[in-house]
Amino acid sequence: MANSANPLVRTVGIVLMVFGIIFVAAGATTWGMVTSQLSDENITVPDDASMMAGKKVSGPLTAYAQADIINQHALKASDGLTYAELGVKATEAKEAGDEALAEEYTQQRVTAMNGSFLRASLFTSVLAYGVSALVIGLGILQFLAGLAFNKLASRPAAPYAQGYQQ
């Protein structure tokens, strides 16, 4: 016989299932929005990238590949120096009286800074994909837990749960 004495278990199961559906929908919506925004930028991973060369940036792997190649290009343009290192070099050149070299380092620093900004934006997209996948996974688990709770709520309670006294 069905146990109507477990309304809390049934309610918790329903709440878990509802939140599971909401989580899956929210994660999928976020994934779709990020994909749409990346696709609208019409970015193509350059041919010299180590992976995904020639692919349109529209997902986590292509966004990561694009961020990686931007870093490689920025380092090549700055002779392997980072933004911070270029600042030190520009200051040293200026203090040594070599304004032309200081200006060259400053221009390389601008290139490194732009590369860093672009990489950060792409890595934000990669992070958003990861969080979306996590939320979708948690939503599926919540929904399944809700199903299990509802299955438990429909079973007869064990004697000790019904106030059984020895």
Q: What is the pLDDT of residue 160?
A: 59
The percent of residues above 70 in pLDDT, for the chain, comes to: 90
CA dihedral 136→138→139→145, nearest 10 degrees, is 150
E strand segments, 32-163 = none
Instruction: Judge whether 141 and 20 are in contact, CB under 8 Å.
Output: yes
pLDDT reported for residue 65? 97
User: Mean pLDDT, consecutive 10-residue segments, the chain of 166 residues?
Assistant: 68 96 98 97 96 96 97 93 94 95 94 94 97 98 96 74 56
pLDDT of residue 138: 98
- Give the pLDDT confidence score for residue 3 in this predicted structure: 45
pLDDT digits (tens, 9 = 90+) for 100-144: 999 999 999 999 999 999 999 999 999 999 999 999 999 999 999
Contact 23, 139 (CB under 8 A): yes
pLDDT of res. 80: 93
